[in-house]
Amino acid sequence: MELEEEIIDSEGNIHKIVEVLGKGGQGIVYRCLDKDVDIKVVLRDGDFVKDKESLKQYEKSVLNLSFKPIERHFPMSIPLVTLRGKQGYVMKMAEGYEPLKTFLKKPSVLENEEKDGIFRINNAIQELCKDNHHMALSLSYYSQTQGLRSRLKILTHLAKLLFRLQRGFSVWGLEFKQCVL
């Protein structure tokens, strides 16, 4: 999609694209001329998803998400409306957010672990799904997309951090015997 192209949402509003904010395994996020909204477009194999059945299912899932009871203080951009003829949605401009890749570019222990082979998602997937080859292939594919890989790295880091914190103190009822933070 070229910059300055227009995207029409399901309500008939026209949004002019001015900048690519992010691109990953799940699609592209664009900034619009109207600074109050962003556009998320889903890509499959590098192209827009336009078949009617997929669009219908996607619109239903976005609608379900927009009605979930998500607390206001939780930093998440909720879809406002879907796009016309493409999988994607219009969302309120997310002020102050940074793409996950900016946090993951910082040097960390996780990068070294991944290089050393400790962080082996595909091996774990194969082990967990040894009875369901189709599921293993599907999960293996999604583990290679940037969005899921980033989230798995973050979850791994958080799990290790929580383990270290838990190991540092013992809880007896509500009393803390030792607390190391």
**Binning pLDDT at 50, 70 and 90, where does residue 13 land?**
very high
Task: Give the model's pLDDT for residue 82.
Answer: 87
**In the predicted model, what is the mean pLDDT of the chain?**
71
- How far is the C-alpha of 62 from the C-alpha of 79, rounded, in Å? 7
Residue 73, CA atoms < 13 Å, CB-side half-sphere: 0
What is the CATH number for 16?
3.30.200.20
Distance CA 163, CA 165 (A): 5
In a domain, 154, yes or no: yes
Q: Are residues 139 and 65 in the same domain?
A: no
Statement to judge: residues 145 and 67 lie in one domain: no
Classify residue 88: in a domain, yes or no.
yes
Per the structure, the count of domains in the chain is 2
Looking at the fold, whether 130 and 149 belong to one and the same domain comes out as yes
Domain-terminating residue out of 30, 58, 92: 92
pLDDT at 155: 77
Domain extent for 114: 100-176
Q: Is residue 54 part of a domain?
A: yes
Highest mean pLDDT among 47-56, 61-70, 111-120, 164-173: 47-56
Same domain, 58 and 124: no
Q: Kindly state whether residues 52 and 35 are assigned to the same domain.
A: yes
Range 130-140 average pLDDT: 70
Alpha-carbon torsion, ordered 106, 150, 36, 70, to 10 deg: -120
pLDDT digits (tens, 9 = 90+) for 28-41: 888 888 888 889 88
Q: What is the mean pLDDT of residues 164-180?
A: 53
Q: What average pLDDT does range 80-101 have in this prediction? A: 77
Domain check: are 122 and 171 in the same one?
yes
In a domain, 11, yes or no: yes
Task: Specify the residue for token string 């395994």.
Answer: 25
Q: Are residues 75 and 31 in the same domain?
A: yes
Return the minimum-mean-pLDDT range out of 25-39, 86-100, 136-150, 163-177.
163-177
Domain assignment of residue 50, yes or no:
yes
Residues 53 and 111 in one domain: no
Task: Work out the average pLDDT over 146-166.
Answer: 72
Look at residue 27 in the predicted model and tell me its pLDDT: 84
Task: Please compute the mean of the pLDDT values over residues 8-37 and round it to a whole number.
Answer: 87
pLDDT at 138 over 60: yes
Q: Where residue 44 falls among pLDDT bands split at 50, 70, 90?
A: confident
Mean pLDDT is highest, among 31-35, 42-46, 113-117, for 31-35
pLDDT of residue 15: 93
